[in-house]
């Protein structure tokens, strides 16, 4: 396919299929907020509301309003979700719960710092879309709480026995690399630079281990490999998603060497994580080739594949490395063949190792209105930049 065809496909899938699926099926008109447990046809099969998915949908519709079209219906959806979150989402310490009933009563305590991460991200984006200072204050306040909790994110809810095998996880520093850019307009510039510098260093110099060519999911407190189930764990999707976050930071800082490093790491992760027998990227693997602890290790997940597509396309944009384009096309082919539902809209989320649909849901406890719309928007806009870059290169060649 040509760049023009890819652009048209991603734009159409986003605006004609994915966004209408959520706009038409997920809104809780009675209680506020969103239903995320949706069948393949868009029917609600469970009414529990998960905070980070509520926040992600607020972010998505705010982002679309800002960057695609000033559609008042999109902003109304975002503000509807925000009103529900403001009313029900936090405890007395202003930490965000994990889940609520449809009416907004707490179900699961505020143990999960990722609820806070996506709340900060959502209200920062909504503040940008509306200019509402109260949204900005929630975003800043939540971000401050994240920084205070980052060294002990689960607090009293941690199940780990202290002092025996203390590990640090990859997810939070990875997300902070993206979150701080989302909330940059609300923060002091020196704080932004400190968080970015620390985040990049943590991702590419601590969790990335050159002896394996891979990013570990957990390391010990001295930043070393720990030979245990947790320490050997590889999540290829996390590693690949983090690389486009870091590439965005590197582009911001004109750091071509860091971009090259991200591309090399990404190619190494893909080679390791690709299922050479059935195609697709494994969900979890063991760095030493041992059986992973996770029974779902060989599943193929929607977010892993669309995030990997973004990484490869951005890698190609910045470096022109043909291996990135080849991987991008391979990933696109697999993703479009297996995840996209052209009949009812949106994407399936979970496949078995052979690429067969494992769960026919379009949303649930972990899948909501986020990775697919964000990914399609990123692919659409990045492909436009690829096309423009090629056009300029061709013109320069003609004129030289």
Q: For 100-218, where are the alpha helices, taking DSSP H only?
A: 113-130, 133-149, 171-182, 189-201
- pLDDT (tens digit, 9 = 90+) per residue, 109-136? 999 999 999 999 999 999 999 999 999 9
Q: How far apart are CA 196 and CA 183, in angstroms?
A: 12
Give pLDDT, residue 98. Answer: 97
Q: How far apart are CA 162 and CA 186, in angstroms?
A: 36
Domains assigned to the chain: 1-30+169-399 (1.50.10.10), 31-159 (1.50.10.20)
- pLDDT (tens digit, 9 = 90+) per residue, 178-198? 999 999 999 999 999 999 999
Helices then strands, each counted (H, E), the chain: 13, 14
Question: Which pair of tokens denotes residue 144?
Answer: 């401050």
pLDDT at position 400 over 80:
no
Q: How far apart are CA 150 and CA 169, in angstroms?
A: 10
Please say whether the beta carbons of 88 and 399 come within 8 A: no
Q: How far apart are CA 331 and CA 316, in angstroms?
A: 14
Please say whether the beta carbons of 82 and 135 come within 8 A: yes
- With 0-12 / 13-18 / 19 or more C-beta atoms within 10 angstroms meaning exposed / middle / buried, residue 175 is buried
Quote the pTM value.
Answer: 0.97
Decide: helix, strand or coil at residue 95: coil
Question: Confidence class of residue 20 from pLDDT cuts 50, 70 and 90?
Answer: very high
Q: How far apart are CA 64 and CA 45, in angstroms?
A: 27
Give the pLDDT mean for 293-305.
Answer: 98
Report the percentage of the chain scoring pLDDT > 90. Answer: 94
pLDDT at position 325 over 90:
yes
pLDDT at position 48 over 80:
yes
Per mean pLDDT, which of 147-151, 319-323, 392-396 is the most reliable?
319-323
Q: How far apart are CA 224 and CA 233, in angstroms?
A: 13
- pLDDT (tens digit, 9 = 90+) per residue, 61-118? 999 999 999 999 999 999 999 999 999 999 999 999 999 999 999 999 999 999 999 9
């Amino acid at each position: 396919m040509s760049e023009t065809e890819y652009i048209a496909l991603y734009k159409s899938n986003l605006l004609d299929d994915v966004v209408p699926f959520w706009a038409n099926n997920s809104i809780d008109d009675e209680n506020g907020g969103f239903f995320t447990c949706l069948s393949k046809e868009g029917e609600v099969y469970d009414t529990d509301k998960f905070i980070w998915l509520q926040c992600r949908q607020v972010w998505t519709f705010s982002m679309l309003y800002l960057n695609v079209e000033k559609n008042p219906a999109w902003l109304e959806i975002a503000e509807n979700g925000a009103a529900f979150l403001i009313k029900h989402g936090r405890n007395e310490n202003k930490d965000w719960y994990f889940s609520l009933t449809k009416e907004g009563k707490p179900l699961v305590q505020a143990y999960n710092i990722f609820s806070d991460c996506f709340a900060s991200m959502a209200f920062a984006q909504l503040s940008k879309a509306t200019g509402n200072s109260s949204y900005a204050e929630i975003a800043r306040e939540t971000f401050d709480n994240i920084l205070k909790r980052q060294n002990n994110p689960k607090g009293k809810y941690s199940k780990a026995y202290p002092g025996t095998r203390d590990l640090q996880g990859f997810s939070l520093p990875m997300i902070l690399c993206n979150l701080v850019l989302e909330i940059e307009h609300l923060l002091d510039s020196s704080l932004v630079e400190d968080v970015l510098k620390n985040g990049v260093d943590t991702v590419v110099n601590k969790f990335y281990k050159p002896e394996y060519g891979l990013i570990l999911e957990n390391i010990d407190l001295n930043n070393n490999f720990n030979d245990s189930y947790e320490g050997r764990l590889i999540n290829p999707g996390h590693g690949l998603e983090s690389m486009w976050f870091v590439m965005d930071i590197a582009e911001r800082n004109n750091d071509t060497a860091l971009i090259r490093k991200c591309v090399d790491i990404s190619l190494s992760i893909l080679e390791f994580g690709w299922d050479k027998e059935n195609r697709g990227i494994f969900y979890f693997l063991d760095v030493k080739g041992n059986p992973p602890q996770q029974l779902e290790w060989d599943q193929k997940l929607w977010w892993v594949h669309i995030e990997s597509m973004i990484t490869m396309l951005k890698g190609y944009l910045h470096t022109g490395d043909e291996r990135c384009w080849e991987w991008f096309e391979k990933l696109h082919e697999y993703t479009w063949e297996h995840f996209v539902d052209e009949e009812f809209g949106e994407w399936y989320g979970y496949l078995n190792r052979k690429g067969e649909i494992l769960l026919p849901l379009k949303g649930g406890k972990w899948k909501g209105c986020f990775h697919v719309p964000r990914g399609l928007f990123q692919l659409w806009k990045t492909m436009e930049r690829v096309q423009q870059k090629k056009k300029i290169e061709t013109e320069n060649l003609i004129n030289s």
